[in-house]
Amino acid sequence: MIVPVKKVKLAVLNDYEETLLENLQRYGVLMLIPLAERGGELPEGELLARTEKSLRLIKEYESKVKKDDDEYVVAYEEFMRVDESRKELLVKIEQCGAEIEELRAAIKAAEEKYEFYRPWRLLPVKPGRLGRNRYSVSRIGFINPYDVKNFGAALEAVDAGLLMLGRAHEGQAVAVVCYYEDDAEVQNVLKSFEFQEVSLPDRDMTPAETLAGLDQDMERFKEELRAAEARLREFTESGRELELLSDQLKTRIEVRQAPVMTMPRAAYLEGWVREDRVEELKKAVAEVTDIYDLEITEPEADEQPPTVLQNGKFVAPFETITEMYSLPNPDETDPNPALSFWYLIIFGMMMGDAGYGFVMSLATFLFLKIKKPKGNSARLLKIFFYAGFATMLWGAAYGSYFGFTVKPNLIEPMTDPLKMLIVSLAIGGLHIITGLLIKAYDDIRHKRYFDALFDQFSWIMILVGIGMLFVPATNTIGMALAITGAAIILLTGGRKSKSVLGKVVGGLGGLYNITGYLSDILSYSRILALSLSSAVIGWVMNLLAGMFAGSVFGYILAAIIFVIGHVFNIVMGILSAYVHDLRLHFIEFFNRFYQGGGYAFEPLSLKLQYIDKVNIRNPQGGINHE
């Protein structure tokens, strides 16, 4: 359901502003309306960025130690306590992280240098002795490996010496030596073979000596890196202290950035409070000061308050589906109770296999228990958990168990698709009628009685009447209902128009909407299509597996085909049913009554990303935050 909210106007002396905001945050009952933005950078922002960076760093090593999956619960006093040891821990982790980054950079640089020198390992002289001297000229460089033989012959023809060295991605490393007077001819040979001359920077050591030194440096760097990583791994045990610091900083930043209008002697704020939390708001203010002005009123006609949804454990997960479309307007009916029922019915019909439903519910149950996801991920998984039971029920009705048909069953999509199509369209009609009933309820709640009768119940009469026409025992009653509904629309469809012509055209135009209703109902034929696709793929996988059964190896291969095939069918079935079920609700169902356009109620509260729960245990009161 949608909980009503009240408008709040509050003024206190400046001396109590920060304390009041912290207490309001502790209670978590007031959503502030932006009146003024507070500019400037906050010191907590920089500290938060450093904390998040350090958390990401230590989480790289958490997989190597046993994680603590227990619920992270702290007392409010501990949450708000400023502990300098957490900042000291942050500095130590940052220093360790900086050391690791430097060592990794040093190792990378050494590896790159090693790779550069590796082709020249066999060069017997120091690079400083290469080049021109009194009697000879020596060079090193790369040539194409495929030209080695011809290159050697060409150098021999001009009385030059050739030393083959190592290989690299640049080509074959070589050293060329010639007499000073033969250098011009040698250069022509080098040019013809596209010789790439190289200069080595370390002039006073042979490449082999340089490589040996690099080996020692890399081994030392790696040893230091292992030691630094071991120290950092020890900090993973203190990760929760950093998580607490991060949530503390986020909470503090929200208070510092609260949109409060500050005047010379007083602070003024406006906001929204849930109707059932008004007394808690008064208590939160009175605990801070007895000098204040508090006004609580109904929202003005031109104001749109936030939407507060409050549903039970079963319906609440389905709120995430509504939020994908749009939050409801606070003045309309919450669609989630009806949506939760119909979403499961249609999803189960589309999947339609009891075995698949069992796997869905079991897999999501285990994932929720082991991984303990939060937020929308947890809510979506709970929807699939419930959808698994709906799939089991419809699978039993179809007699389908992992693609095998078991009698008795009520309906079998593969052998009786026409009957399945009729059931699908009937479900579609009932789904749309539910939307019309919700709209009629909204009209009656807002005292729009004629709208409920002429615009909603008239169409319900037509749709019910059309459905009854297909049942021989009720076709006469159905005809009467359909004609009565059509007459109501024809006579009242243009009632809001002032001219006679407008009333006539409005009535005819309203009746023409029957084409829209019929096309919407036909959209539910996708239920038949998806139930057939799931059944056919399951049947084919069983057929393929059965073709290989007969020997030990055949049974093993058949089991592999069976498992992989049905896992594929389950995954594709879930994706298809999820998307098409959403489509039927967003287009066909919501189109009949839903306005949307609401925005979420987000009160000033503790910002918990890592902590699961903050307990308020002091005698002053407040609410537990999760």
Encode 380-423 in three state secondary structure.
HHHHHHHHHHHHHHHHHHHCEECCEECCCCCCCCCCCHHHHHHH
Q: Radius of gyration over alpha carbons of the chain, in Å?
A: 38
Torsion-angle region of 28 (φ positive above 0: left; ψ -120 to 50: alpha; else: beta): left
pTM for this predicted structure: 0.81
The confidence score (pLDDT) of residue 236 equals: 85
Q: Which fold does the domain 131-199 belong to in CATH?
A: Alpha-Beta Plaits (3.30.70)
Where the chain has pLDDT below 50, the residues are: 64-65, 618-621
pLDDT at 68: 56
Q: Are strands 613-615 and 73-75 parallel, antiparallel or unpaired?
A: parallel
Helices 417-445 and 525-548 sit at what angle, rounded to 10 degrees?
Answer: 140
Domain boundaries, the chain: 131-199, 316-592
**Contact status, residue 205 vs residue 126, Cβ threshold 8 Å:** yes
- What's the rounded Cα separation, in Å, for the pair 272 and 29? 8
**Residue 63: predicted pLDDT:** 58
- For residues 506 and 496, is the Cβ–Cβ distance under 8 A? yes
Q: Please, are residues 578 and 319 in contact by the beta-carbon 8 Å criterion? A: no
Is residue 111 within 8 Å of 225, Cβ to Cβ?
no
Report residue 235: phi and psi, to 5°.
Answer: -70, -20
Residue from 125, 216, 212, 218 nearest 175 by CA: 125
Nearest to 79 by CA among 204, 244, 199, 194: 244
Q: Tokens at residue 196, please?
A: 């790439």
End-to-end CA distance of the chain: 21
Cα 67–68–74 angle (5° rounding)? Answer: 145
